[in-house]
A and B are shown apart, each in its own frame.
Chain A
Amino acid sequence: MSDQKNAGSWKPKTMIVLAMLFAVSGSMLSQEHSKLDNRVQPPLRPVALSLLDLAAKDGLPTDPLVDKLLEGVSKGAKDDQVIFATKRLLDHLQIARKTLGQVSDQELVAAASVLRAKAPIKTLSEVQRALPNRSLAAPFSVLGIMLQQGFPVKEAKQVVIDKSRKLDDKTLLVLGNWIERGIADGFLPRTALMNAERRLNGLSSAK
């Protein structure tokens, strides 16, 4: 809800200023982003291209940003809402990069989902420290899902760390999906977790 309030505060004037700031570098705007097709039109288009160029310059994945832009445009959202949502995603990707260092695009995107779920930034580094020599894409994805579904950060983080030490990526993602389904079906987060664990144990013993 607060996000929507924030989005509302983004006036067209802000957009113009942003566009002018980004337009300083002509080379940034010179490269048309083909993935946007013709679906993103001015005045949104130059701002959108600037955000994509910024991401590319920082070595961040641009696909999730394009996805966000296209979603907003398709849904007929106001330009300032689209920019707000895309800029916030870019911020999260940048923070994730700064915190985690050189990690894969999938790990960055998953880490951004954790930040989107309002986890403190230090959560990322704590998980990274606890799970050395392991891809963090699946653990961060599951953590993001659990936080979005209402798990307290501390508890979700510990569950993800514990499970990531025992399970491979595929099984971990399945567990995350079952937890999400359980909560969506009306179970409390802890009950959904217990049910998912029980189901997983049942599968393991049946194998």
Chain B
Amino acid sequence: MSEHDKTENEAINDLIARLRAPVTPRADFADRVMAQVERTEIDEPLTNRVVRDVPRSKYPYGRIGVYALAGACVMAGVMVWRFGAAGSKGSNAALQNYVLEETVAPSVIPVQQGAERVRMVRFEIVAPEASEVSLAGSFNGWQVGATQMARVDTRGTWYVDVPLEVGRHTYMFVIDKVKWVSDPKTTQEVNGDFGESNSVITVSAEDAL
């Protein structure tokens, strides 16, 4: 190791030590800050002021700071290389569950908090001409307007998230309070007793298998 390298290493170690050292503000620190704030006249947005006051130099954070940044990047790289495999395994499993549920509409998103028996289910329908859309089903007493859907884009996509218990539920969309339509995104249906077939959503605990 050359003398130059040693000096640099010492400088880096010194910087790390100083950064790690606990910072104890003086007792009157808060008072001084507030006094300065009160004295300062704000005549333009704060963000602009900050940006304008940044020193413009080749190494805005100092030469040693650049080395520290490079070191951090190398360490981050090593961490990703070392632990990345385990991380991706976990996310693959999560993705698998997500895709499993996404193969049918509506999509089922497991709810973390509390009940194993409840899942948040997203219902979606594209109805550009509709002025209002609601969801009626066995879970809300088939009441029109009880579960209103929100329009989310200019294509006329409407959606609503509904917490449903694990089990089998039947439903339909109601457009402008009068037109009942089955979910065009799912083919799981049961013959209804009153005209069109009801769509079926089975909220299952299959990801827990």
| Segment of A52-60, A153-161, A172-180 in the binding face | A172-180
Does B121 have its Cβ within 8 Å of any Cβ on chain A?
no
The reply to whether B143 and A70 form a contact with Cβ atoms under 8 Å apart is yes
Q: With A3-B193, A67-B138, A81-B193 in contact, do A75 and B206 touch (Cβ < 8 Å)?
A: no
The reply to whether A75 and B204 form a contact with Cβ atoms under 8 Å apart is no
Chain B residue numbers with a CB within 8 Å of A67 are 138, 141-142
The reply to whether B136 and A74 form a contact with Cβ atoms under 8 Å apart is yes
CA distance in complex: A181, B105 (Å):
11
Q: With A141-B168, A170-B205 in contact, do A75 and B195 touch (Cβ < 8 Å)?
A: yes
Chain B residue numbers with a CB within 8 Å of A173 are 202, 204
Does B125 have its Cβ within 8 Å of any Cβ on chain A?
no
CB-contacts of B177-197 with A (<8 A) = 178, 180, 186-195
Partner of A85, one of B138, B141, B193: B193
The reply to whether B186 and A171 form a contact with Cβ atoms under 8 Å apart is no
Q: How many A-B residue pairs have CB under 8 A?
A: 71
The reply to whether B191 and A148 form a contact with Cβ atoms under 8 Å apart is yes
The reply to whether A184 and B204 form a contact with Cβ atoms under 8 Å apart is no
Most buried by B among A74, A77, A84: A74
The reply to whether B194 and A75 form a contact with Cβ atoms under 8 Å apart is yes
Interface size bucket, A side?
A: 20 to 34
CB 8 Å contact bits of A37-77 with B (1 = contact, 0 = none): 00100000000000000000000000000111011111111
Chain A residue numbers with a CB within 8 Å of B118 are none
CB-contacts of A176-200 with B (<8 A) = 177, 180-181, 184-186
The reply to whether A184 and B141 form a contact with Cβ atoms under 8 Å apart is no
Give the dominant DSSP class at A's interface.
Answer: helix
Per the CB 8 Å criterion, the residue count for chain B at the interface is 28
The reply to whether A177 and B202 form a contact with Cβ atoms under 8 Å apart is yes
Residue on A nearest B189 in the bound complex, by CB = A184
Chain B residue numbers with a CB within 8 Å of A180 are 188, 200, 202
Most buried by A among B141, B143, B192, B195: B141
Partner of A71, one of B142, B200, B202, B206: B142
The reply to whether A81 and B194 form a contact with Cβ atoms under 8 Å apart is yes
Give the dominant DSSP class at B's interface.
Answer: loop
Min distance, Cβ B102 to any Cβ of chain A, angstroms: 13
Min distance, Cβ A167 to any Cβ of chain B, angstroms: 11
Does B144 have its Cβ within 8 Å of any Cβ on chain A?
yes
Partner of A77, one of B103, B141, B143, B194: B194
CB-contacts of B105-122 with A (<8 A) = none
Q: With A67-B142, A70-B142, A74-B143 in contact, do A203 and B209 touch (Cβ < 8 Å)?
A: yes
Chain A residue numbers with a CB within 8 Å of B136 are 74
Chain B residue numbers with a CB within 8 Å of A77 are 193-195
Min distance, Cβ A118 to any Cβ of chain B, angstroms: 11
CB 8 Å contact bits of B149-173 with A (1 = contact, 0 = none): 0000000000000000000100000
Chain B residue numbers with a CB within 8 Å of A75 are 142, 180, 194-195
Min distance, Cβ B20 to any Cβ of chain A, angstroms: 45
Does B104 have its Cβ within 8 Å of any Cβ on chain A?
yes
CA distance in complex: A74, B143 (Å):
6
The reply to whether B188 and A74 form a contact with Cβ atoms under 8 Å apart is no
CA distance in complex: A177, B100 (Å):
13
Residue on A nearest B170 in the bound complex, by CB = A71
CA distance in complex: A129, B141 (Å):
35
The reply to whether B204 and A177 form a contact with Cβ atoms under 8 Å apart is yes
Residue on B nearest A148 in the bound complex, by CB = B190
Min distance, Cβ A180 to any Cβ of chain B, angstroms: 6
Chain B residue numbers with a CB within 8 Å of A76 are 178
CB<8 Å pairs between A and B, sample of 9: A70-B141, A74-B142, A74-B143, A77-B193, A148-B190, A174-B206, A180-B188, A181-B188, A203-B209
